[in-house]
Structure formats: structure tokens, C-alpha cells
Amino acid sequence: MLLEDERAALCAIGRRCAEAGLVTGASGNLSIRVGDLVAVTPGGMMLDRMEPADCPVVTMDGRLAEGERAPSSETPMHLALYEATPERAVVHTHSTYGAVVATTMTELPPIHYNTLLLGGVVRVADYATYGTPELAENVRAAMEGGKRAALMANHGGVALGRDLDEAFENARLLEWLCGVYVRAKAIGEPRVLTEAELLAVLERGLAPPEWPPV
Ligand SMILES: [Zn+2]
């Protein structure tokens, strides 16, 4: 079986996404890239009920290389992100606070220094119908400049990583940051960190991991 370990990892991280409340029902999708092949979650399946054989493998130009099930409808978005970045895993969720921010704002302001781990301000990609090339392009544009996460207007969030564990942690961080912002907004106006304050954090060494690894 092609990418057997990676397909098993999709199932393991899919369960963790469900346990962490980042997805409901059959929403959300994950993928991992190895060379010119991408293992992706299937369309229409609960992320915590998948077996490795349920996860199809596609080529970078979107052709099915192996698998019985159809790839997730958002596969074009995953492939567009792999074309545009050196990242090796994508986690797309419909997490609650991410969806709240993505429904009301055009970006998540830097209200906590850990936002730097995602590349600073998180942009909200313009709305487009799910599964379309237009949505894939909008998310790719929102990731420009080395971002490791984006929100999708009236939809959810996307996080990138060098592997699935890292993409999952970035997805959790994105949801946590959105949760802090929304709750802070409920009791006052959140204070946004200044450029100088963020720069001071970078100077202390907090930064996204280097890519490619040395
Ligand atoms: Zn979605």
C-alpha cells in the first residue's frame, strides 16, 4: 500500500482533531505530502472513523494514485498549498472560534505573542464555495509571506506543518488564539500587541521552525 505510515497518521490525527473538538461530523480534512504523492482524507467520512485504506493517495496534479474512496472535496486547496509552500502537512478544520472570527473579521490581530508561531497576523481568506479552485486560490493567497495558518471566511481554518503533528498543533493554536480573542472581546476591547512588542519577542528567539531543517 502506498504511503501506509502516512495514511495511518491521517487516521490518528483525524481522531485527535475530533477529540479536540476541531471538527464535527464529516467536516474537516487532512493531508500529508511525500515527494509527488499526497495522502488525503476521503470525502464524506468522519475523521475519527477512518482506517488507513479509506484514505486515498493522489498525485500533485490531482490524479488518484491509489484508493477506493474519493479524495476530500477540498483536495484542490491542499494541493495548491503544497505547490506554494515547502510544508508537508495540511489540517483543515471547522473549529468553533476559528469560524466565529472568520465570519466577522478580515484578520485575527496579534493579541498574544504565540501568534508569531503561525507567522503573525492570521488573514481571513475571501469567501468562495467549498471545494472550488477559487477557494483554493483564496486560501493560498492568505498564506502568502510564510504564514502557517489562515482562516476561511464563513467556513473554518487551515494550518500547515512540516508533518501532521505540527500541522495539528498549529490548528489547535489557531483555535486557541481565536478563542482568546472572542472571549476577550466579550469583556472589553482586546489590546493588540505593537510591532515593537512582537519584534522583541522575535529577538528572544521565538520564531517558526526553520525550513528546510538543517
Ligand atoms: Zn471545510
- The answer to whether residue 211 sits within a structural domain is no
- The answer to whether residue 35 sits within a structural domain is yes
Output the CA 8–ligand 1 centroid distance in Å: 22
Q: 150-183: per-residue pLDDT in tens?
A: 999 999 999 999 999 999 999 999 999 999 999 9
- Residue numbers of the domain that contains 23: 4-203
Distance, C-alpha 171 to centroid of its chain: 6
Please state the length of the chain. Answer: 214
Output the CA 193–ligand 1 centroid distance in Å: 30
Domain count of the fold of the chain: 1
Show the cell assigned to 163: 508533518
For the purposes of burial, counting CB atoms within 10 Å of the CB of 46, is it exposed (0-12), middle (13-18) or buried (19 or more)?
middle
- The answer to whether residue 140 sits within a structural domain is yes
Averaged pLDDT of the chain: 95
Output the CA 157–ligand 1 centroid distance in Å: 8
pLDDT category of residue 208 using cuts at 50, 70 and 90 = low
- The answer to whether residue 141 sits within a structural domain is yes
Q: What number is the average pLDDT over the span 114-130?
A: 96
pLDDT category of residue 209 using cuts at 50, 70 and 90 = low
Residue among 20, 120, 30 at smallest CA distance from 81: 30
**What percentage of the chain exceeds 90 in pLDDT?**
92
Please report, for residues 72, 133, 160, 180, 193, the alpha-carbon distance to residue 130 in angstroms, rounded to integers and kept in the order given.
Answer: 11, 9, 19, 27, 33
Residues 6+ apart with CB under 8 A from 199: none
- The answer to whether residue 214 sits within a structural domain is no
Catalytic residue ranges = 74
- The answer to whether residue 147 sits within a structural domain is yes
Amino acid 204: pLDDT: 87
pLDDT category of residue 214 using cuts at 50, 70 and 90 = very low
- The answer to whether residue 213 sits within a structural domain is no
Q: 22-49: per-residue pLDDT in tens?
A: 998 889 999 999 999 999 999 999 999 9
Q: 55-74: per-residue pLDDT in tens?
A: 999 999 999 999 999 999 99
- The answer to whether residue 212 sits within a structural domain is no
Please check the confidence at residue 124 and state whether its pLDDT lies above 70.
Answer: yes
Q: What number is the average pLDDT over the span 186-193?
A: 97
Show the cell assigned to 160: 500547515
Check which CATH number belongs to the domain holding 149 and give it.
Answer: 3.40.225.10
